[in-house]
Structure 1
Amino acid sequence: MSSKSCHPRRKFVFIKTHKTGSCTAVNIFQRYAISHHLSVLMPTGGNMLAWPFPPAEEDYVHTPDEQYDVLLSHMVYNKTWLRTKFPANTAYISIIREPSSHLRSAMNFYRLPELLKIKSKNPVQTFLQDPWKYKDLFEAYFDFCNVTWDGTRNFLSFDLGYPTDGAEDKERARRYTGQLEVDFTTMLIMENLDESLILLRRLMCWEVRDVLYDMTPKNSRNYSYKEYVSTAEELANLRRWKAVDYLLYDTFNASLWRKIAAQGPDFHDELRYFKELNKRVSTYCDKRTKDEPDLTVAASKWNSEFQPHLWNKCGYRQWSFNKALKPSHESKKPSISKPLDKKKKTVNATIPYIQGVSEKLRRILQNFNIATNFKPHSTLRQKLVHPKDRVQKGTKSDVIYRLKCEGPQCNDTYIGETSQPLKAS
């Protein structure tokens, strides 16, 4: 059970990143918020809080006192904005995954091969041969807020607040990643989710029952290149292309194991207990029938006795979570708790026009209520207008020239100036 010397932390922000197993992880925080009657900052529509833009006042449901305990949405990490909504003792948590597998998942989910005009059977392999070749095909620029997004590049870092245009700035990336280490209480690693959750439990002073999760895969999809293992050359290209994401992942993966080592040997005893209990409870929740007797989990060193169905360990659908946490005062004060406009806010994005690609990207962005404007990738002026013919070097006048002595014993050089055309001999 949790140590008597600490108190459970009940103010936390979970930045829900894309294609990282965040749908599985967020259910843990949803259950905790409902079980402990916490005030959740809720988006006005769906589970995205203004992503990929900075939040505005009309983007979330306001409480009368503007006091919030928890945030659990997709949003771009915005330290300045979050500090105005949550107190200084708030825990910040997120989840990331290995960038190579993240690219494969994003490539399939967002149908990137279509947008990038890659027709091979293994689009990841084709893409990794030369990622820079496709740079302008999936980069979207939102001029109203000066935000650029590229789903193929540093997507993880983008969700955690790092700008796309900083992809080549190694020093800036190191400084930002170092600051994230300071800002975040812990970062869950998808490939080591169980270890991450036990560390989370200890840092938050929760009980093991609070971090159980449904082991049934969420949003799992099968596709031909899902298990593709890149060559050394392809991985080298990817590490350069997604350099910030790799820096982020390597930093927090090392941090995870460093913090675990500091926990002592009983961490692994708890981890074994957690794995067994999680499998047992997940199976019970998945296969439970109406006539089946209730499961009672005995007290242990890391949790008190509980029954999963009473402690909401059998999970929530997103709609039930939204309903449970919908503020009861919403209908009483429409001017505060509802958006300023019943219509969804529309924003504009400007992207280069590439026939057959830009149209598909526009359809994707429409799902986020983003109106897309096209700009020409090249213009007639660029192709047709050449005000002057190119002047050959030998016919130029008013030039400075250098002549080198060509004799075998001569190393002298003469530098002169002439207003006459310099004709090559």
Structure 2
Amino acid sequence: MAKQLLPPLPGKQYNMLVSHVPFNKLAIDKVIRNATYITILRHPVSNYESIFGFMKIASYLNIEQNTSQDPFHMFLSNTTMYSKRIKDSYRKTLLSNRQIFDVGLDLKNHNNETLVDNVIQQASEEFDFVLIAEYFDESLVLLKKLLCWDFEDIMYFRQNKRNNKLRFEFDDWKRQRILEINKADYKLYQHFNKTFWHKVAAYGETFHNDLATFRGMLQKLRSECVDEERFKIQSRGRMNSTILKNNAPAYCNALSKEGFDILANRQKATSSDLAMDQSLSQLQK
């Protein structure tokens, strides 16, 4: 990770590392010293369906070509057989307990309850806060307090939404089957969902008022920025990306993906200039 990151801007240090990366505190500490560690968890049932759909696992395994039945149901009916067909090491990590893998548990140890409990305990000690996806707004209000931010610092609107063609319906059997496959993830989720509500209680009496204020600001933001009638299909049909209104205020761009691209391109350009200056300096010597 450290080798692939662009260097900080001249005279600066990293403020944040926001990335999809399996957690290793020692490694990340080399990039940002004395950081506040934050992650997010999602209920294993919705998370597993999302992975299956977004990563097009059915197409990868040719399930759709072999049967007219629900491919997600077919996969869940015989995960052992289908998993053996997967040669790609990354996809293998997605099909069972991916969230606790990201927190630090090796794939081979998912059924070892002692090691699962140890990783959950370690995560409790190393992470300063774990957001819960199903309570995203509530999570951001807690995050705001933890980092001493203002409401403006946690404003957002949805950038991408999974294409509806990549969604699958649930029934009780599917839910139960997913929980069986992801026992370690479910244990992890239950633990941090419980501690999450402890943090809400510890926030104090102003929590619900702050949450209502935040959601009012979000509604105003979306009404001013987002064109609800249009979207752009991207990532090979996987995502419906948000489109801003034609007359959207300038601040909307800063919150959009285009705003992040501007920052990334500026950093790349500055880093290239810095590398060129260093090269010229060496030649002059």
Aligned residue in 2 for 1:23: none
Matches within 5 A, 1:116-131: 116-119=61-64, 120=67, 121-131=69-79
RMSD over aligned CA atoms reads 2.9
Deviations 1:13-59 (A, max 9, x none): xxxxxxxxxxxxxxxxxxxxxxxxxxxxxxxxxxxxxxxxxx352x1
1:209, 1:81 → 2: CA distance? 31
- Normalising by structure 1, report the TM-score: 0.54
Aligned residue in 2 for 1:261: 201
Aligned residue in 1 for 2:188: 248
Give the CA deviation at 1:336: 8.4
- Out of 20, 24, 42, the residue aligned to residue 78 of structure 1 is 24
Change (3 A) 1:261 1:289: same
Deviations 1:229-285 (A, max 9, x none): 232x44333223112221222122112111101112210011111111111112112
1:205, 1:315 → 2: CA distance? 23
Matched, 1:275 2:275: no
Matched, 1:331 2:273: yes
- Normalising by structure 2, report the TM-score: 0.78
1:139, 1:242 → 2: CA distance? 20
Which structure has the larger Rg?
A: 1
Give the helix-richer structure, 1 or 2.
Answer: 2
Aligned residue in 2 for 1:91: 36
Aligned residue in 2 for 1:322: 264
Percent identity of paired positions between Structure 1 and Structure 2:
25
Change (3 A) 1:65 1:274: closer
- Out of 141, 151, 171, the residue aligned to residue 230 of structure 1 is 171
Aligned residue in 2 for 1:204: 147
* Count of matched residue positions in the alignment of Structure 1 and Structure 2: 257
Partner AA of 1:79 in structure 2: K
1:334, 1:177 → 2: CA distance? 46
Q: Is the 8 A contact 1:138 1:151 kept in 2?
A: no
Change (3 A) 1:255 1:336: farther
1:84, 1:314 → 2: CA distance? 29
2:89, 2:208 → 1: CA distance? 46
Q: Is the 8 A contact 2:83 2:92 kept in 1?
A: no
Aligned residue in 1 for 2:242: none
Structure 2 counterpart SS, 1:87? coil
Consecutive unaligned residues of structure 2, counting only runs of 5 or more, are 228-244, 280-285
Aligned residue in 2 for 1:239: 179
Aligned residue in 2 for 1:133: 81
1:286, 1:111 → 2: CA distance? 28
Aligned residue in 2 for 1:164: 107
Aligned residue in 1 for 2:46: 101
Q: Is the 8 A contact 2:63 2:71 kept in 1?
A: yes
Consecutive unaligned residues of structure 1, counting only runs of 5 or more, are 1-54, 143-147, 295-308, 338-425
Partner AA of 2:101 in structure 1: F
Deviations 1:343-389 (A, max 9, x none): xxxxxxxxxxxxxxxxxxxxxxxxxxxxxxxxxxxxxxxxxxxxxxx
